[in-house]
Amino acid sequence: MFYTRYCHNEATAENGPWIITLDPPIYRSVMQHARNRLLRKEVYCAYIIRASTGDLNNTHIIEQILKLRLEKAKLLGYNNYAEVQLRISSWDAAVRDMEELRQFAEFNGADEAGELNHWDFNFWGERLCESSYDINEEELRPYLSFPAVTEGLFSLSSMLFDVNIHPADGLAPVWNEDVRFYCVKDSTGDPYSRPSEKRGGAWVSLVVGRSCALSIAGTTARLPIVHVVCNQTPPLGDKPSLMTFREVETIFHEFGHALQHMLTKEDEGFVSGNRGMEWDAVELPSSFMENWCYRRAIISSIAKHYETGQNLPEDMCMKLLSTRTFRAGSVILRQMRYAAVDLELHSEYIPGGPESIYEVRQVQLLELIPSGHDYAAGYYSYQWAEVMSYDAFSAFEEAGLDNQKAIEELGRKFRDTVLALGGGKSPLEVCSFLTGAFSVQNYYTSQICLGKFSV
């Protein structure tokens, strides 16, 4: 795609020439689809040693960051930066996932089947998914155009949170022709953010937060400015940007973060949006929005062939829905491992001491922990947010996902609690307004034991 647009007009996906960068979308594609194992290994090794060798080595900066964080914790009266320890043992579900993957690779004659490595997991995981569900992400691309996906996302947000999102291109100068502006208002016409402040987009960057103290004299609270930045295949000619379903999940996820900032009602800048919020709940709105990607009604609204306008065929839709808990045990346990290493670095590890950060990284929950994708491997807050968002979404399921009146009422409640209250109240208190107590066991049962999700 890079060469097609900038260097080689005759380049094709089949015949090249190609350039492989370490940008996450390209890296993931190589890990999932490249049949050349040596190439996968080369790209994987290059990916994990970024900024760690030669003149670009920033290991000393990591040490400095950890040292300063420890100093900060001591100044605040804490023993360490985390004050918690995460201990978890091997999980049977992840072990089963690993064994299933090995057996599948062996059945397909893979020489590496007896000793799968990190650069093998995504590739064989993708092949196993294709074999098990008879679907691959490239088949879905023609049905997932960026304009249709964003239109469906905005319609869902309007229905749930009683907001109107309208294009506002031309109302302010932009730095690139691909930048889009949107005006976000509530149902009465009052803006949640000025027309120039919402840029359509996959990561979220808060420029300024809602604040009463920093508002102009005689006006209401200063409204937030939020960027939502995409990182996907650009449109070419008359062909729109076509997305993988993983990219659809990502944009729903990041828009959840944007909603935290846009719909907050906290006028104190330090606790508006997700500022001042405990890490436990920062990922709640984003994880909550991801749940809607797996609703058949939502898929029907966003998955339309970019040329014919036809909806995604029913059989493909059902296959897609059935992949939701694919290798869930491995994915969850890998999240736990990243959380454990993160907490170890900020609790027991002593910057400048006898142990190096590379030794801390060797902490293992299993000998190797594969994952179908890299995005879910985050800090403990990601995993805890999954539990909280599952609990919140369960309230909508119990009300009946086809009961629009009940869903709208719950959506307004979610807006007025989880999204509006920001860091002004504790996450548990905020969520208790919505659902009451959590059920961690129910979440893991649904994920690991393939419990049924409403579709």
Q: Which residues are catalytic?
A: 254
Strand-pair partners of 225: 208
- In degrees and rounded to multiples of 5, residue 167 shows phi and psi of -60, 140
Give the tokens for residue 176.
Answer: 């690139």
Which amino acid would we find at residue 37? Answer: R
Selection from 23, 24, 52, 19 nearest residue 356 by Cα: 52
Distance between CA atoms of 277 and 271, rounded to whole angstroms? 7
Contact indicator for 420, 399 with CB cutoff of 8 Å: no
* Cis ω for the linkage preceding 25 (within 30 of 0): no
Distance between CA atoms of 418 and 423, rounded to whole angstroms? 10
Inter-CA distances, 357 with 84, 346, 348, 396, Å: 18, 11, 11, 43
Contact indicator for 273, 422 with CB cutoff of 8 Å: yes
Give the tokens for residue 300.
Answer: 């029907």
